[in-house]
Amino acid sequence: MNELLQTFATVGIHLGISILLCMVAMLFTKSEKRYLLLVLSLFFFVTISILFIPNLPFLDKYNWNWQGKILSFVVALLFVLFLPFLNKEQAGLTFKINKTVWLPFAFLIAISVSWNFIHINTIQEIDNSKEYLFFQLTMPGISEEPIFRGVLLGLMNLIFITKRKILGAQLGIGALIQVILFGVGHAVYFDQQHHLQFYKEGFMLTFILGVFMTYLKEKGESILPAILFHNIFNASLPLARLFVSL
C-alpha cells in the first residue's frame, strides 16, 4: 500500500468509527438535535484529514507536525466562531474558569506526571530534541483540546442532555463517546510494513487521560485547564527522560 492510499485508509477508518459510534449513540437519544451527530462525524473527519496534508516547504526542516496541529486549532476555532451549531461557552472557549477545578487539576497532574516518571524507562518513542520538548509544551493541548473537549464534547452535550453530577462535573454518555474517539484517534495506525494496527495500550492510556481532561473541562467550565493538563503531561515525558539521564 503506497503512502497516499494509506492516508486515505487511515482517514476513512477514523470516519467509519466515528459514524458507527454515532449510529449506536442515536439508539440512546430522541433529541431533536440528533442531526448534530452527522456534523460531529464530518468535523472529526476534517480534523483527522488535516493532519495528513503535506507540509509547506519552509516547514520541511521540522520533525514534528506543526502545520497539522496549527490547522486543527484554526478549524476548531472557525467552527465555533462562524458556524451556528455551537457557541463559545458551550465549547469552553472562555477565560472564565470555575476556581474549584484547580484542586483536582493539581491531583490529576501529580498522579499522571508521576506515572510518566515511574515508567519512563519503558517508553521508547521519546525524542530528546529541543523541538520535541517545545512541541509537547504547546501543540497537543492547543490543537487537540479545542477539537475533543471543545467542539466534539460541546456537540455531544447538545445531543445528550441527560447528565449526572460526578465530583462536581456534569457528565453524560456524550462525554464517554468523545473520550472513545480520543482514544481511537491515538490508537489506530499503519506500521512500517503497512499493516493496520490497533495500539491497545495507547488506547487505554489516552482513554484514561481523556477522562481526566473531560472532567477538568466540565468542572472548570473552560477548556483551559484541559489544555494545561495535556501540555504538562506530554512535556513531562522528555523532561522525565532528561531527569533520569542526569
Mean pLDDT within 95-101: 95
Average pLDDT, the chain: 86
Mean pLDDT within 123-142: 85
How far from the centroid of its chain's Cα atoms is residue 189's Cα? 16
Confidence of residue 78 (pLDDT cuts 50, 70, 90): very high
Angle among Cα 152, 154, 85 to the nearest 5 degrees reads 95
Mean pLDDT within 212-224: 97
d(CA 194, CA 3) in angstroms, rounded, equals 9
Burial per residue of 183-219, b for 16 or more beta-carbon CB atoms within 10 angstroms, e otherwise: bbbbbbebeeeeeeeeeeeebebbbebbbbbbbbbbb
Mean pLDDT within 35-59: 87
Asked if residue 152 lies in contact with residue 127, where contact means CB atoms within 8 angstroms, the answer is no
Give the range of the structural domain holding residue 39, as residue numbers without chain letter.
3-245
Name the β-bridge partners of 165. 170
pLDDT of residue 111: 95
What is the tally of structural domains in the chain?
A: 1
